[in-house]
Amino acid sequence: MNILITGGCGFLGARLARTLLKQGALSLAGEPARRIERLTLTDRVPAPPDLAADPRVALVQGDLLELAQGRKLPAAGTDLVFHLAAAVSGECEADFDLGMRSNLDTTRALLEASRALGSKPTFVFASSLAVFGNAPGTALPELIEDDTLPTPQSSYGIQKYISEQLVADYTRKGFIRGRSVRLMTVSVRPGQPNGAASGFLSGMIREPLAGLKGACPVPRETLVALASPARTVEGIIRAAEATQEQWGPLTGMNLPSLRTTVGDMADALERVGGKAATALLDWTPDPAILKLVNTWPGNVASVRASKLGLLPDKDFESVVRDYIRENPGAVKLPVR
């Protein structure tokens, strides 16, 4: 089996790649499992050393829009595309043209290139919880379901929702076998902060554990829907494995979420890292981030995902402890 991961050298793409390589094989859309022979990563940056050293991995470095428009990706013989590459929410709000190019134009070009293969590859698109938004004067439903009408309130959310619809139509026309999964906010992400408005939901844990100040620009009572890196990757892979009957409608599927508050997250940090960790939290409000976060739902159902055997994280404290276990070199404070 030949697989393409866009954004494959970023945190989530690299984790997905490592998981697939460890598995060694994949059952695609219910078919018998096949050995993973080639895993192509495309990104603007080099591959992590461990992935670059794996003989099954190939790196195509460059601008994804140009590569797709030039029909260089996906390559002939590609069975499965995981499309993770995107400009993040804060970047898209600050630079409209960047978001449209990186998220909408690139997705359309990649779909066209996949169609041109003529082999109907499976195409898993990483959409987002941001397709749902609290429109001014209109309250969100108390519970967001898989079939709740998306009302995005950010350029990023709009771009993701339009892309969902494109994936659905290319599937309906028989060009690809498409599945869109709506990712929850992923926490805790290791490494450096990115431009996502939700980035503080990792930074408020990651930075204090490293002995650094961590920004927490929203009130403690802010409700959020989170998923750990492990649960997120699990959901992305399961989308590729599901039969069409199991998958169901062509619309986007909500991945499972842990429903919590920012205050509960801070409390979990204190249980793990003590008061020395929470003393490093900076609760200075940021109106721009608060405006975006307040449009996002915090109570999200995932009935379709649960039928595929996908479950949310047990609690946020266990997510924090998993982060510490996986990233011991990034933790400088003593933990309990």
Give catalytic residues, as residue numbers.
156
Tokens of 70: 């030039």
Number of separate helices (H) and strands (E) present in the chain: 15, 14
Around Cβ 230, how many Cβ atoms within 10 Å?
Answer: 15
Q: What are phi and psi of 166, to 5 degrees?
A: -65, -45
Q: Is 307 helix (H, G, I), strand (E, B) or coil?
A: helix
- Amino acid letter at 70? G
DSSP string, 260-289: EEHHHHHHHHHHHH-HHHHTTEE----HHH
Q: Is 84 helix (H, G, I), strand (E, B) or coil?
A: coil
Tokens of 84: 């993770």
Q: How far apart are the first and last CA of the chain?
A: 44
- Which of 124, 122, 123, 140 has its CA nearest to residue 132? 140
